[in-house]
Amino acid sequence: MEEKKIDINKEEKSRQVVKENTDKKNRVIKDSFFKKLGKSIIKGIIFSYCKAIYRLKIIGKENIPKDEAVIFCGNHRNFLDPQIIVVTAGRDMRFLAKEELSKNPFLAFLGYLFGAIYVKRDEKDLTAVKESLKTLKAGGCIGLFPEGTRNGFEKNDGKLKNGAAYLAIKTGAKIVPIGIIGKAKPFTKNVVIYRKAT
């Protein structure tokens, strides 16, 4: 009887350890109250600006998974694209951004607020990869541009970066393709289209 009790206790402890490790793995880091407030204010300002000045229309938002890890992949036309995705997706996300942007004080502040993951271009940045994997494994979202740069599809003869596929395979995260259409000029119509997750 004593041996059976010991075995049962060991099994219970093992299950508890597994549960605790799973909870830690799946726990998304929560923002402080002031950071949440700052993000809400900035998002509201950017959304109102894009809606009024660029006549922004959103299509397919129902295609975005609500409670699982997602990699948002969009085409990259200009500086507005990351902001458009961040304020219209309805999910908190961390965007991959070139390291040079962190040298601009205002953009560095936005990067801090929204948890940007800075990437060293033209080299394999393992730190950025590890941080992206960590975020997705915790159930968070990542935003990136497979083109790697503005209008990269045209510049690179139709070649795309394979980072999104790698992250999806490693974490099981869903990929949501995004099409951003329009000239991004004031008072011209711009549309963001969220396709079905794959």
169 Cα distance to chain centroid? 16
Q: Alpha carbon 161 to chain centroid distance?
A: 16
**Non-local CB neighbours of 127 within 8 Å, separated by 6+ positions:** none
* 142: phi then psi, degrees, rounded to nearest 5: -125, 140
Record the pTM: 0.78
Q: What confidence score (pLDDT) does residue 24 get?
A: 42
Which pLDDT value is given to residue 14? 46
Length of the chain: 198
User: Residue 50's closest CA among 96, 78, 87?
Assistant: 87
> What pLDDT is stored for residue 44 in this prediction?
95
Q: Which pLDDT score, from 0 to 100, does residue 150 have? A: 57
Predicted local confidence at residue 19, as pLDDT = 44
User: DSSP states of 32-69 as a string?
Assistant: PHHHHHHHHHHHHHHHHHHHHHS-EEEE-GGGS-SSS-
Q: Given this model, what pLDDT does residue 135 score?
A: 96
**Of residues 152, 179, 148, 151, the one with CA closest to residue 162:** 148
d(CA 48, CA 142): 23
Cβ–Cβ < 8 Å for 69, 176: no
pLDDT value at residue 79:
84
Q: Which sign does the torsion angle of CA 35, 142, 107, 86 carry?
A: negative
Answer for the pair 43, 83: CB distance below 8 angstroms, yes or no: no
Per-residue pLDDT of the chain (198 residues; tens, 9 = 90+): 555 445 555 555 544 533 444 444 444 557 788 888 999 999 999 999 999 999 999 999 999 999 999 999 999 888 889 999 999 999 999 999 989 988 999 889 989 999 999 998 777 778 999 999 999 999 999 999 988 665 555 555 656 678 899 999 999 999 999 999 998 889 999 999 999 998
Rounded CA gap, 67 and 174, in Å?
A: 11
